[in-house]
Amino acid sequence: MTLLTRIGRLLRADLNAVLDGLEEPAAVLRQALFDMEQAVARGAETEARHAREAQRLARLVDAAHAQDARSAEDLALCLDADQDEVARTAMRRRLEAAARLAAVTRERDLQQAQWEACAARLAAQRERLAELQARAALVPGETATEEGPAAWSNAERAITEADITLALHAERARRTRA
């Protein structure tokens, strides 16, 4: 069994070496940049969703505060008027409003923490992407721009014998003047 295991390892190692040789580093780098850009875009969407949810919860907290204040006023009116039965109903509403306010406030605080964590992750992802883009810009031959290798090879094909002859005459004339 150990002989088969060793042969299997050798075959896997050779296969991995062949695959590594087939990989084009520029293509791998472009794919890594594309993947990181997609991750940053998804992170930005998540951050925007957290922001919208935080705004919604802030409105709910404001509404819960207003409801709590109204129920406190109702309770005060009932107590001033010695209306114990109505005061019990007003007290129930006040307690329900206070519980709703506490629940919405907790949810808002949790959402705020998630939003801040998401923003921090997104900032770190953007920073890593910028670093990778800067490194990719330093790697020669990554892109075939108009000034790059593709344009050079097109320029080489466009040179004719007449161009060479004219360049040689111009060079001889320059040397005789000097």
| Sequential pLDDT tens for the chain (178 residues) | 688 888 888 778 777 777 666 667 777 788 888 999 999 999 999 999 999 999 999 999 999 999 999 988 988 898 888 888 888 888 888 899 899 999 999 999 999 999 999 999 999 999 988 888 888 887 765 444 444 444 444 444 567 777 777 777 788 888 888 7
The domain that contains 123 carries what CATH number? 1.10.287
Terminal CA-CA length for the chain: 80
Domain ranges, residue 34: 2-140
pLDDT tens digits for range 23-75: 677 777 888 889 999 999 999 999 999 999 999 999 999 999 999 999 889 88
Instruction: Report the distance separating Cα 107 and Cα 39, nearest Å.
Output: 27
For residues 51 and 129, membership in a common domain is answered with: yes
List all residues 6 or more positions away from 145 whose beta carbon is below 8 Å from its beta carbon: 151
| Residue 143 φ/ψ, nearest 5 degrees | -130, 145
For residues 152 and 115, membership in a common domain is answered with: no
Instruction: Report the distance separating Cα 178 and Cα 167, nearest Å.
Output: 17
For residues 22 and 49, membership in a common domain is answered with: yes
Q: Angle at Cα 111 formed by Cα 120 and Cα 100, nearest 5°?
A: 165
Domain count, the chain: 2
For residues 14 and 87, membership in a common domain is answered with: yes
